[in-house]
Amino acid sequence: MEIRHLQYFKAVAEHLHFRNAAASLFISQPPLSRQIRELEEELGMQLFERNNKRVALTEAGKYFAASVDSIFAQLEESKNIARQIHNAAASGELKIGYISSVYQPYLAGVLKALRAEFPYIKTNLYERPTIRQIEALEQGQLDVGILRAPVQSENLTVHSLFFDPFMVVMPANDKAFRNRDQLSAFIKDKPFIFFNKEYAPQYHGKLVEICHRMGFKPDITHEVNNVHSILQLVEAGLGVSILPLSLQQQYANLQLTFINLADIPVVTEVVLAYKKSNRSKALKWFIQNYPRK
């Protein structure tokens, strides 16, 4: 059995008409009929019921048609993966998604090292929330995503990078808090600045949980879609926020006060996600070399 036998069978199964199938294959009808007979003889079964008026698949033919479709789909995927491997060896691109609250120096460092390893690779960066990254990864619009768990997708492979506790962020001040109760009393009536619930639902839930543990419900007055804007609004005195602790080092230059919430056992997990079928060498290198805490 050769690939052409399957191609000819697929054409007849789709058209259910030998002359039309032959025309779609740019061959005459007699060779097509002969190839189908050879295939049926090799398989030891009849694949088509045919008479002067109609051509129809037998039950065995219907099953075989589904199998042939799967074979061609797998063959096409194998060709695409092989092409990715070939292209990535010399050139190509790596499409990377990331959340605004990721620690930027880590990303910059690994991209610099990636360029040294793959000098002709082109990297495209897309700042997107977790839910949008998952959609883009599943659809092949991104090669890899740096996002926050949970990643609820059976089509993606997920690697944990680190667990990030939270901190309170407020405008710069010298006020000292001896315990959590004093801190809670100070911030509970303040306007909160945070991500939109629809934009980052899991992240939003963490904020509400932490505030509940501190004994109050947050008054989320300002909603924005990236961490840079949150911190700038806090610095401007428009409210307070609760953000991952890893951001403190990145934004130490801002006029802000950071208070670690180490005694509250709520954390967020930062992960890498990608499709296992993506065999790009650059992607594999990126996954292996992205810093873990």
- Determine what percent of the chain is predicted with pLDDT higher than 70: 97
What confidence category does residue 185 fall into, taking pLDDT thresholds of 50, 70 and 90?
very high
Question: Is the pTM of the predicted complex or chain greater than 0.75?
Answer: no
Tell me the pairing of strands 191-195 and 219-224: parallel
The CATH number corresponding to 91-162+270-289 among 3.30.1490.20, 3.90.1570.10, 3.40.50.2300, 3.40.190.10 equals: 3.40.190.10
Nearest CA among 98, 113, 73 for reference residue 277: 73
Domains 91-162+270-289 and 166-266 share a fold: yes
What's residue 84's pLDDT? 66
Quick one: fold of 3-87? Arc Repressor Mutant, subunit A (1.10.10)
Render pLDDT for 28-58 as a digit per residue (tens, 0 to 9): 888 888 989 988 888 899 989 888 788 899 9
CA angle 153/156/158 to nearest 5° reads 100
List the chain domain ranges: 3-87, 91-162+270-289, 166-266
Nearest CA among 264, 258, 222, 233 for reference residue 243: 258
Q: Is the pLDDT of residue 277 over 90?
A: no
What's residue 281's pLDDT? 85
Side by side, the strands of the sheet bearing 268-274 are: 122-127, 93-98, 144-148, 268-274, 157-164
User: For the domain 166-266, what is the CATH code?
Assistant: 3.40.190.10
In this prediction, residues 195-217 reach a mean pLDDT of 88
Q: Is the pLDDT of residue 89 over 60?
A: no
44 HSE (CA, 13 A, CB side): 0
What's residue 160's pLDDT? 94
Nearest CA among 288, 283, 274 for reference residue 88: 283
Render pLDDT for 96-126 as a digit per residue (tens, 0 to 9): 999 887 777 788 899 999 988 888 788 999 9
3-class secondary structure, 292: coil
Nearest CA among 64, 118, 127, 56 for reference residue 91: 118
Q: Is the pLDDT of residue 85 over 80?
A: no
Under 8 Å between Cβ of 236 and 162: no
What's residue 167's pLDDT? 95
In this prediction, residues 156-160 reach a mean pLDDT of 94
Q: Is the pLDDT of residue 278 over 90?
A: no
Pull the structure tokens for residue 286: 């990126």
What's residue 133's pLDDT? 93
What's residue 88's pLDDT? 54
For the chain, the average pLDDT equals 88
